[in-house]
Amino acid sequence: MNTQWLKMINDLKERLLHRRPFPPPLEEVGFTYGFNSHFLTRVLDYWQNKYNFKEREQFFNKFDHFITKIQGLDVHYIHVKPQVSEDVEVLPLLMMHGWPGSVREFYEVIPKLTTPQPGKKFVFEIIAPSLPGFGFSQAPVRPGFGPVEMAIVISNLMKRIGYDKYYIHGADFGHVMGSMLATFFPQNVLGFHTTTPLLLFHPLENIFTLLGTLWPSLIVEPQLQSRMYPLSEHLLRLAEESGYLHLQATKPDTVGIALTDSPAGLAAYILEKFSTWTNNAYKKSGDGNLLAKFSLTHLLDNVMVYWSTNTITTSMRTYAETLNKRFIAMRLDEIPTDVPTWGIKFKHELVFHPDCMLKLKFKNYLHSTIVEDGGHFAAMENPDILATDIFDAVDTFLQFHNHTKNPEAKERVPVNPNTAKTIYDFSVKDIYGRAVKLDKYKGFVLLIVNVASQCGLTDTNYNQLNELYEKYAKSRNLRILAFPCNQFGGQEPGTEKEIIKFTKERNIKFDIFEKIEVNGESAHPLWQFLKQTQSGSFGDFIKWNFSKFIVDKNGTPVERFGPNVNPIDLEPYLAKYW
């Protein structure tokens, strides 16, 4: 330890020793009024007497740290190069933290990302910077250094290190940085993985959210609706948990003075977020259930990053530089990016945005991993889950880019319905699980239908679809593509084997495909394309079983009909495209 470091530690211990008595908490309030002062006393006593400063310094220095000057700012970063055999590919991964986190968040997950995983032929070389104004990176001295300016610094950092192309993982404000880089430097970003998949300012965000209050299945899958609705409950939680946001966006320096001068205040302010942002129910406990997922040592490591560098004020200024007229007026969420993107959604994250909303910005949003636990600080709380997901995401990104070079790999990569031209761009699976490229139907007129075996419309539709097929399959090159779906009243609950049995008993002649979803986040890309191309009278969502699309001989969806139109009544419409 150098003299300056020892002086800082001695000063910290003196402040902890001579802290003033705290007002006792109200009876049985837990963390609902903020950090419980009874438990804070325990945290501070541990910090003062049991936290091993020398050991933690050694722990922090187990990775290589560097500082380089970028655009006049000293920028700190961790750089970890894996030790692997020549047959393992090493891919650069830029990892960016948020607030009130730091590079300390990544210490548990870095070893997992630099170690070969079963079934994967690559590992990661990690570059994890302290964002400017956070931790060991210098803060700007003039106003106007917002997300755009910060993204330029990070981009130049990666060029300085020697990487023109790289993958990104971002969390919280690191997600904002990832979004900025994917927007301004898409030629450099090979893929973007985020634990906080959301939009900041998009005009359709509120419209989507409000529309979901009337038709939630239109916006979000049934099993995920509780993460958005009832809307009143989620707005109340946001109101309860976003006080810091308004304060830091308007008067960061005022609260910064108090937190800079008081280690007790700093610990309470930061660690309260590690309680309620991990699980909102934790606020009912007197200790905030902080030790359910974290240790005091790990939590105080993160606090020490802010205390030892005196950067709590400068880190909070980031909010003032983001939530202002200047940045909002840029309307950057309305600028689409083609960078392949992947999100992981933990159950207790503060904000949930469905995939349909995210695709407004991220045109190649490929996948959301749904986790039925976990909260905001995923790298510290769930490093195994996060590492596995990053590997899976980058594996998919590699396939995505391979597709652009090798068209034969097309069926392995989900087709983006926003950029598809015809249905021939898509591949599906039939009811037996076999891959089917829809370009096999070139030159045919198609009738595409979502079907169900236990609906009141089942008998009429199946009988008449069979009748149409037998009448026009040979004479007019008609093909009927039926997709079982269980999203409407649970009326297609059976397995593929049961569906096969059902269709054989009815002597169905037309093609039956795999069971899919047609609405929500997991809607099949083909059906997303159909809905976008031929939207309905009250929105593009599918209203019920046996909705129908006519596709012409060029693969273009040309007409759409609701479940109230019987198949036999479509004859004059089909005749227009023979």
At 420-439, the pLDDT tens digits run 999 999 999 989 888 888 98
Single out the residue of 299, 280, 236, 240 nearest to residue 373, CA to CA. 280
Which is catalytic among the residues 51, 169, 172, 365?
172
**Is pLDDT above 60 for 326?**
yes
For 486, the token pair is: 């269980």
What's this model's pTM, rounded to 2 decimal places? Answer: 0.72
Mean of the pLDDT values across residues 519-538? Answer: 87
With 70 as the cut, is the pLDDT of residue 478 above it?
yes
State yes or no: is 395 an active-site residue.
no
Rounded to 10 degrees, the C-alpha dihedral 507/509/511/517 comes to -40
Give residue 536's pLDDT: 67
Q: What is the pLDDT of residue 465?
A: 97
Which residues are CB-neighbours of 404 under 8 A, at least 6 positions away?
none
Is pLDDT above 90 for 403? no
* Burial grade of 189 (CB within 10 A; 0-12, 13-18, 19 or more): buried
Amino acid at 194: T
What single-letter amino acid sits at 23?
P
> Residue 267 pLDDT > 70, yes or no?
yes
Mean pLDDT along residues 382-388? 97
For residues 540-554, give the mean pLDDT.
Answer: 94
What is the chain's length?
578
CATH 2.30.110.10 describes domain 61-227+332-407: no
12: tokens are 């910290």
Cα gap 462→448, rounded to integer Å: 13
User: What confidence score (pLDDT) does residue 223 get?
Assistant: 84
CA distance 59 to 53: 10
Q: Do domains 61-227+332-407 and 415-575 have the same CATH topology?
A: no
pLDDT of 413 higher than 60: no
Provide the pLDDT for residue 157: 98
Whether 376 is a known active-site residue: answer yes
Give the phi and the psi of residue 508 in degrees, each rounded to 5: -70, 130
pLDDT tens figures, 116-138: 988 889 999 999 999 999 999 99
The band of 1, judged by pLDDT with boundaries at 50, 70 and 90, is low
pLDDT at 405 over 80: no
Coil vs helix vs strand at 377 = coil
**Burial group, residue 49, by CB count within 10 angstroms (0-12, 13-18, 19+):** exposed
Superfamily of domain 415-575 in CATH is Glutaredoxin (3.40.30.10)
Average pLDDT of the chain is 94
Say what percent of the chain tops pLDDT 70: 97
Say which residue, 278 or 504, is predicted with more confidence: 278
Distances (CA, A) of 565 to 162, 177, 464, 548: 61, 49, 11, 9
Q: Give yes or no for a contact between 314 and 133, defined as CB atoms under 8 angstroms apart.
A: yes
Which run of H or E residues covers position 483? strand 478-484
Which residues lie closer than 8 Å to 178 by C-beta, 6 or more apart?
Answer: 96, 168, 169, 170, 189, 192, 194
Mean pLDDT of the 210-239 span? 90
If you average pLDDT over residues 285-295, what whole number do you get? Answer: 97
Compute the distance between CA of residue 332 and CA of residue 180 in angstroms, rounded to an integer: 8
Whether a cis peptide bond, with omega within 30° of 0, leads into 230 is: yes
Q: Confirm if 342 and 367 have CB atoms less than 8 A apart.
A: yes
* pLDDT value for 406: 59
Between CA 529 and CA 413 the distance in angstroms is: 16
State the pLDDT at residue 476: 93
**What local confidence, expressed as pLDDT, does residue 414 receive?**
67
Catalytic residue, from 193, 202, 376, 524: name it.
376
pLDDT confidence bin for 218, thresholds 50/70/90: confident
Domain assignments of the chain as residue spans, ordered by start: 3-54+237-322, 61-227+332-407, 415-575
70, containing H or E segment:
strand 64-70
* pLDDT score, position 411: 46
CA dihedral 307, 311, 313, 317 (to 10 degrees): -150
- pLDDT for the residue numbered 410: 46
The pLDDT tens digits for 436-459 are 889 889 999 999 999 999 999 999
Given this model, what pLDDT does residue 409 score? 45
| Mean pLDDT to the nearest integer, 503-509 | 91
319 is catalytic: yes
Which band of pLDDT confidence, cut at 50, 70 and 90, is reported for residue 559? very high
